[in-house]
Amino acid sequence: MAWSERQIAILGEMGIRLWSPPPSAEQAAEEETVAVVEAPIPVAPPRARPGGVAAGVAAMDWPALREAVAACRACKLCEGRTNTVFGVGHERAQWMVVGEAPGEQEDLKGEPFVGKAGQLLDNMLRALGLTRGEADAQHQVFIANTLKCRPPRNRNPEPEELAQCEPFLIRQIELVQPKIILAMGRFAVQSLLKSGEPIGRLRGRVHQYQGVPLVVTYHPAYLLRNPQDKARAWEDLCLAAEVVAR
């Protein structure tokens, strides 16, 4: 893939170099050791309450689905939300980005991936010629979260909450019909792949979700705390781009 000067500049601002020297034997051995001791993360089984949101969601179109999310009171997260966070982007985009749960800024604005993490994601997408803004389906993404409401104090999602929101995400994927899903962060990966394996073990290869290719990568908020992994995240995006280009 050939990169324009603008794309190279964007990557430089992110702290990513397109070409890096191969790791030394000592570094390679250290990475191998880390991979060996990395343990799976237990995945608690979903426990959705009877009478939740699943009924009827599978047949909803976009307007009905948006209304259902906005009116949802299937779990206790509805009590503290300012806004539901449905998703944003082209409704038939080739790329679909799935994150974890809304944070404070997402709750206030009603849009996923805003603030510094959102800026980093936007820069990563722009480096590939993609945008969440006005564009055609080929160059725009659809961005959604596994949860549509913010957990209090940004705590981790609970299994029941993930289970209640899962039908909404499944229907979004069915309506978008993306060519690639980019799962960002532990809870997005667990929800879609039903796997407790660490992201470090799952990234670097193409998975499948209901027949759609899926690539695992780190959440932008994690990358802000661990900038040394930005290059790995860029590799994941390049892998996803290769899948779309096939």
pLDDT digits (tens, 9 = 90+) for 155-168: 999 999 999 999 99
Pairing between strand 95-99 and 141-145?
parallel
184 contacts 71 by C-beta, under 8 angstroms: no
Instruction: Tell whether the model's pLDDT for residue 194 goes beyond 50.
Output: yes
- pTM reported for the whole predicted model: 0.81
pLDDT digits (tens, 9 = 90+) for 21-59: 444 444 443 333 333 334 444 444 444 444 455 669 999
Rounded Cα–Cα distance for residues 188 and 97 (Å):
10
Q: What is the pLDDT of residue 24?
A: 46
pLDDT digits (tens, 9 = 90+) for 83-116: 999 999 999 999 999 999 999 999 999 999 999 9
C-alpha distance from residue 162 to each of 77, 79, 119, 243 (Å): 11, 16, 26, 28
